[in-house]
Copies of this chain bind each other. A is one copy, B any other.
Amino acid sequence: MSSTNTISHEIADTLRDEILRQRYRSGDRFPSERDLAVRFDASRGAVREALSQLEQLGLIHTQPGGARVQSVNAASLAVLGPLMALDGYPDPLLVDQFLQTFGVLTAMTAKNAVNAASPEQLIQLKKLVLELADHSDDFEAMQPRWRELLEAMSTIADNLVVRLISNDLKAQFVDQMMKLGIHPKIERSSIDQLLTGLRVGMNKQDGEIAGQAMQNHFQELRAAVGEAIKFRDKEPSIRAVN
């Protein structure tokens, strides 16, 4: 489920999940606002606000005369989080797709950041990599530094498109994975390879090298996370269907 505790959000969450679960076929008529108000024992205003959210997600399209359900494939990026959380634990395939995508974008960011960095920024980046190296034996301790490095590179690369995409992806995936306590086992050698690649790239100010190192790292991360999910206790998710 999502965040807030208002009625309209609860209605929106419930309906969103129902659509994501394919309870309605794409193109189907969506129940009328008045019917939904009765069903949720709420006012039509609250229902309307919920539908407004669903429309923003691209899950329904409303028109005078009635609303219709749209294809999940045509939805907004913001449905990824709810989609992944549908069954309580993430769909391994979806996680893999996320990591591949996030990896490509992060590699691009690293490349651009290294290429565009000013001398001072380059020093800052190197420092962050060094700090990362100091904690390369503790996965947990690495996380804050890792985030810091990504943030710094993102700032330097200064690509708003990627930043906005990453906002959505991170908000929906990374936090979710953390919450679920998925700890990928990454080979020490893989991390060393990444750090070395980043360092070399920064020293030569060659973004290609840094980007390639990042890309390779995500490749390994994909495998590691896949393993971690596979062996995870799949607690049966308790979810009211209403």
Contact = CB atoms under 8 A, between A and B. Distances in A.
B53 A56 contact: yes
Interface string A45-67: 10011001100111000000000
A100 B109 CA distance: 11
Interface residues of A, number: 36
A105 B58 CA distance: 21
A101 interface: yes
A167 interface: yes
A105 B169 CA distance: 14
A74 interface: yes
A77 B161 CA distance: 7
A165 interface: yes
Contacts of A56: 52-53, 56-57, 78
23 contacts: A8-B52, A45-B48, A52-B52, A52-B56, A58-B167, A73-B160, A73-B163, A75-B167, A76-B76, A76-B77, A76-B164, A77-B77, A77-B165, A77-B167, A80-B160, A80-B164, A83-B160, A94-B160, A97-B160, A100-B108, A101-B105, A104-B108, A105-B105
